[in-house]
Structures are given as structure tokens and as C-alpha cells.
Structure 1
Amino acid sequence: MSDEERRDSLADQAAAWIPPWERPTPPKPRTETDATPEPSAELEPPATAPAEPEPAPVLDDTEPAPAPAPRTPAAAEPAIVDAHRSPRTETAQDPVGESAAEPEGEGGVAVPGKRGRRRPTPEPEPAPVLDDTELRGALEAILLVVDQPVSELTLAQVLEQSPERIGTMLDEIAAGYTAAGHGFELRRAAGGWRLYTRPEYATYVERFVLEGQSVRLTQAALETLAVIAYKQPVTRSRISAIRGVNCDGVIRTLVSRGLVEECGTEADSGAFLYRTTTMFLEKLGLNSVDDLPPLAPFLPDDVEELADATR
């Protein structure tokens, strides 16, 4: 064979050559053992013996080698499913799911380590119910140590009882003291309750407390205090205009005694406003400034003529 004939023969063989991975798989002969396949192999594709690759033809150095065909990605191959193993579902417990706790929401508190379970929210313990005798004794003990009138709401919060029950019991205690004729009484003053001595024993109390060191307000202080009580909130200039004299020193005295206090400023002039304090109500035995007596009975009959004369 000449070189030209040999070259043509090799070219024909190279053109007719098929790669092994593109060749069709020959059918496998059926045997007796394949008649009853095992259950686990029902979904598995039949195994095929790898085809022996044919020897590559010898190519001439002058001819280029054929390019290999692209390989199919492994992700495209069909997955083998085991018929005896159930697929994993989202409800299966795993270490992460068991250790995670449900977030807290309505209906209870999350329990660590238990998915989907909630511990019921503990209910607050009910307040202890006091009988009338114990409640009366507790109120009397508190009222003996207070240094200013205490409100019913404060007593209800301390004793964990309703304000309505506290108010009813205080009224009963006050009525009992009055009926028994004690030297003291339970009286409402300055928006609260406090024990006071009875007026008929005031001389004995003054003799014991003051012992000759009586401190009284001057006439100017009493007049200024009366103006503030009936005109509050009021400025210094207004008080001085009503009294006709300068009241700065008297107001400082009333503030130092705790009978008068500042309560803001006037919007127009920016002057300080003054009003009476809780001590003022306590000293006079009043519950509020609305209990002050009216001024009409104390005014002279010719007040209008006096006002016109001063103009």
C-alpha cells in the first residue's frame, strides 16, 4: 500500500470514529435472576457494564485531533431514590429545632427546647382580704404616725384594698371616736385624713405645747394671708394695691412659715404668683379653699361709698 492510499484510509477511519460516550449502550441480556428484582432496586436504573473504549485510530501528524464532546453536568443526572427511606419533612425534629424556643406571644411564655409549646402566663396573686377588725387596726396605726393628712388612695395602695372600702371604714372610725367622747377625733382636712385634738381641749394642749412661748401672726400678716386666701393666685403688686402698703416683707414671713408658696408667674407681667399651702388648710381645719367662709357678712354696709371715697 502506498503512502497516499494509507493516508486516505486513516482519514476515512478518523471521520467514521465515534467517541465511546456517544455510542448507544447495547441491551443487556435478560437472565433468570432479573425476573424478580428486589424491592430496593425497583427505582434504581439497571447497571450497565462499562463499554470498553475502542483504541483510538492512529492519526497522521498533519491531521488535527477531534475535539472531545462536552460532558453532561452531574446535576442533570437523575437522582436515585431509596424506596425504603421516607423523605425528610419540615416537621422532623433536629438539634437546631429542639434547642430553639418559640418567640413569646399571646397565650403564654415560650418554653426553651420545646417547639410549638407555650407555658401559661402566671396569674398575679390576689390581694389579701382583711377583715374589718384588722383593717380598722391598720388604719389607726398608720394615722398615728403620719405628719400630714393622708388621702384614701394612698391608704388603699398601702393596704392593697379598694378606696371605697377605705373611705367607708374611715367614716366608721370617725363616728366611733365622736360617739365614744375621746379627746381626739378623726377629721378630713387638706384632701386627706388625720387625727386632731378636739376644740374643747385646745387650752390644755396649748398650755402643754407652747409653755408661754406663743408665736402669733401680726395684724399685717393676717391681713396679707386673708388676701392671698381669697384672691389666689395673686401677685405681690395686687396684694399691695388691696392693702395700700408694701407687703414684700410680710409675704417673705408667710413663705418662711409654710403658709404661702409660689405657684408660677403671671403671663402678662411675669410677676410671681402666690397661693396658700396645705399647711394653711391643716391649721385652719379646712378640706379646701372652697370651705372658707364668705366675705359678704364681714363687709360694711357702706362699702361702695368707701370705695368711691378712696378714688
Structure 2
Amino acid sequence: MTCEDTIGVGGAEAPPTLRRDLEAVLMVVDQPVSEYELAKALDVPVTVVSAALEDLSREYTEQGRGFDLRAVADGWRVYTRPECADVVEHFLREGQEVRLTQAALETMAVVAYRQPVSRGRVSAVRGVNCDGVMRTLVLRGLIEEAGHDAESGAQLYRTTSYFLERLGLRGLDELPDLAPFLPDDIEGLDDTGEHT
């Protein structure tokens, strides 16, 4: 007798929280999960889990929910209904836009005009530690790693094609000239803003 047989034997009744527990697990998995894995995790017979999954799937369809519970080759998983694909795509492209903070904008400007540039150099130019902001910009796809500095070994960063796309630029040569925005006594300043 296998473990699967012992979990699935008998005409056991479903615990009152089974449907809720199945939903909770299925909402967090990133790949299909088998009835056996669910039964083992929830300590419920496979036959009971199987019936509950079928009921949930049917219920979601009857209610016209925006998601669907489907059995696929490797198990069960929640999917977006095909008729909702356009709405989801629009949300992911447009609805998720988050404005950058002032710190992020300043950091982006330093990277854009000084690339490839290290985090240390960006922090020196801005006068504050920029590690967190740099990580955020990498996660948002606006900057990326660009190798290591030959002398210091520091990780270098540059802007991405997504950065150019968001700004409506074809290339970095289309970035506006900074000269009109710099103080008159810029000559003789190093990267930290100190006079040399």
C-alpha cells in the first residue's frame, strides 16, 4: 500500500475549512500542484481533495469569476480567464505605473549622464547613500549591471532600453544638455562636488 493509497482511502468527509485552505494554497503557488501534494499538506484524503477541487472549479465557472481553477498535466492551478486577458494586459502595462521619487529621479539622472557608473560614484555625486534607490531602479528595469570597473572592481550600472523607451528617446545622445542647469563655477569640481 502506497502513501497515496493511505491518504485517499475511505469515504472521509471534507473538513469545513478545506475549500478555504485549498484556495489559500492555490493562490500562492507559482506552478501547478498535484492533488496528492495538496492532500498530504492538508492531511486530507486525495479523493476528498479531488472532489473539492472539481467543485471549486465548477463554482468559479458558474459564477463567471475572472479566474479559473484548472487541472493541467502536473496538477491544479489558478489561471486568469482568457476573456480577461485584455484587461490584465492593460493593467500590467499602464495601470501599474508608479511615479519615481525625487531621490530615484536624481539617481537616474546621475546614471544616465555618467554611465557606466558605480553605486559609490552615484552616492558621491548625490551626497547620500543610493544603494536602496539603485536596487529599486534595477528592479523596475530602468538600469542594469554593466560589468565591473577595471581599477576598483566595483559593479557598474547603465540605463536600459526600457529607460529610453519610457523617456521617448532613440538613444542617449538625445538626452538634454545639462550645461544650462549647472552653476557657473562648475569648472574644477570633481565627482563629489568638491573643488579640486
What band does the TM-score fall into relative to the shorter chain? 0.3 to 0.5
Q: Which has the higher contact order (CA 8 A, sep 6+)?
A: 2
Q: Which of the two has higher C-alpha Rg?
A: 1
